[in-house]
Amino acid sequence: MANYYEGDNQLNLNKIWQEALEEIAKNVSIISFDVWIKSLEVVDLKGNTLVLSTTSNSGKQTIIKNYKDIITSSVNKVHRAIGDVEIIVQSEPEEVEAEEPTSKTIKPAPQSALSSSFNPKYTFDTFVVGPSNQFVVAAAKSVAENPGASFNPLFIYGGVGLGKTHLLHAIGNYITETKPKLKVVYAPIDKFTGELTEALRTSKNGIISEFKNKYSKADVLIMDDIQSMIGREATQNEFFNIFNELHEHGKQIVVASDRPVSELKQLAERITSRLAWGILADIGYPELETRIAILNKKAYLERYNVSHEVINYIAESVTTNVREMEGMLTRVVFYAKMMNKNIVTMDVAREALKDIAVQSAETIDAGRIIDCVCKFYSIKKDELLGRKRTKDIALARQITMYLITELLSIPLEAVGRIFNKDHSTVIYAKRQISEECKKNRKLAVEINDMKQMLNGK
């Protein structure tokens, strides 16, 4: 049991309050916490009543109405002797009316706290646009500029580490900045599920109004990683209800998943069909040029001093995951610091990436790509490399050429030679497959899967 007494048995109220805050945070939304709870200050203990202060009368009313019970029970949980909480207004003149907080009565402080639930680094400005993501960025911007009016819901999907969360935060940052009155709620599904479970656990008679209020009062609801709803019935139910309520009232919904809707088969059909109501936008693997631009931007933003050679080297070695690529950049910068160098040069980078680089060079080569495609489509290697022209084989052959050009930096002539073709056939295959992927989701997913298999995931 923690010791809350200091000196002459004087209760350490601040310590109790800090622990109570942690307890409260589990039970209210991040936004409620940031706006209403975090700024409360401990004033005194009167009998068994903990006195807390806030800065405005309207804030006091809101807190009493919505959060007093949870604050009281949390404080009581931390220290049994405290059985009640009183909220007072301190240091700011009392406002005349105590009704609904209007934009006039809300202080700038809560507003900035509101936007803080989004990572300030994840904005549209810091997101590099290239052919692999220009469509999704356009859709995200349109939603951010006119929430509820254009694409609803906006469904973003793409592989791990390709910028989905970044874009969700960019939308959130943009809206909280340009339309501060809108209530923007962001939650990854895991958090949503956690809050729901907790609400159900602590609810008397199954009523979870605070949880429901948080989500269904949103003007913009942003949900991340919705593939995590699979296998979670209660989460799907609540999500379904909230979705309907918001959509009916023209509120904007944005979701992200690392699988396209068609691959979320294990979710209830009523959910997948709704997700498909709006617009589906996918983030593909960034091309080499985009990867270089992302690294340059990151180096610029973090004030890293990295040579172009190193940037190119990293961009060439990681093809399917921007987070991993950024990890390499951070690693080389760290190494340079350790070696007291103020610019990251190739020799530092080679040393820093020794283990990682060797691994990727060893694990992917044309032979492995060929094997992977053969296994994936259950065809024989000599058929794939032979002259047979049946539709399936010809397609698999084009996919193999496409994957080799995407994943390895080998000259096109060399790729052609593997198949006894010239480089124009390779160029044609590359174009065919990337065009086809735009129209044919199934193929796009299959290719993604193969890339992931090849990258050892």
What residue ranges bind ligand ADP (CB under 6 A)? 122, 126-128, 133, 158, 160-166, 294, 322-323, 326
Q: Binds 163, which of ligand ADP, Mg ion, none (CB < 5 to 8 A, cut-off by type)?
A: ligand ADP
Q: Binds 133, which of Mg ion, ligand ADP, none (CB < 5 to 8 A, cut-off by type)?
A: ligand ADP
Give the tokens for residue 141: 């911007």
Least distance to Mg ion, CB of residue 35, Å: 25
Smaller CB separation from ligand ADP, 33 or 127:
127
Judge whether 39 and 54 are in contact, CB under 8 Å.
Answer: yes
Q: To which residue do tokens 């296998």 refer?
A: 231
Smaller CB separation from ligand ADP, 129 or 200:
129
Judge whether 141 and 195 are in contact, CB under 8 Å.
Answer: no
Smaller CB separation from Mg ion, 63 or 255:
255
Q: To which residue do tokens 């931390």 refer?
A: 78
- Rounded Cα gap, residues 68 and 65, in angstroms: 7
Smaller CB separation from ligand ADP, 199 or 283:
283
Least distance to ligand ADP, CB of residue 273, Å: 24
Q: Binds 56, which of Mg ion, ligand ADP, none (CB < 5 to 8 A, cut-off by type)?
A: none
Q: Binds 294, which of Mg ion, ligand ADP, none (CB < 5 to 8 A, cut-off by type)?
A: ligand ADP
Q: Binds 214, which of ligand ADP, Mg ion, none (CB < 5 to 8 A, cut-off by type)?
A: none
Smaller CB separation from ligand ADP, 57 or 257:
257
DSSP letter at 94 equals P
Least distance to Mg ion, CB of residue 164, Å: 5
DSSP letter at 279 equals E
Judge whether 256 and 133 are in contact, CB under 8 Å.
Answer: no
Q: Binds 323, which of ligand ADP, Mg ion, none (CB < 5 to 8 A, cut-off by type)?
A: ligand ADP
Smaller CB separation from ligand ADP, 54 or 228:
228
Closest CA to 213 of 183, 189, 172, 252: 183
Q: Binds 153, which of Mg ion, ligand ADP, none (CB < 5 to 8 A, cut-off by type)?
A: none
- DSSP secondary structure string for all residues of 135-163: HHHHHHHHHHHSTTTSSSSEEEEE-TTSS
Residues 6+ apart with CB under 8 A from 134: none
Least distance to ligand ADP, CB of residue 152, Å: 21
405 binds Mg ion (CB under 5 A): no
- Going residue by residue from 147 to 186, which x/- string records binding to Mg ion, judged by CB under 5 A? -----------------xx---------------------
Q: Binds 397, which of Mg ion, ligand ADP, none (CB < 5 to 8 A, cut-off by type)?
A: none
Smaller CB separation from ligand ADP, 78 or 162:
162
- Rounded Cα gap, residues 118 and 31, in angstroms: 10
- Rounded Cα gap, residues 146 and 149, in angstroms: 5
Judge whether 114 and 103 are in contact, CB under 8 Å.
Answer: no
Alpha-helical regions (H) of 264-387: 269-275, 288-301, 308-317, 322-338, 346-352, 354-363, 366-377, 381-385
Distance of CA 56 to the CA centre of its chain: 34
Residues that bind Mg ion (CB under 5 A): 164-165
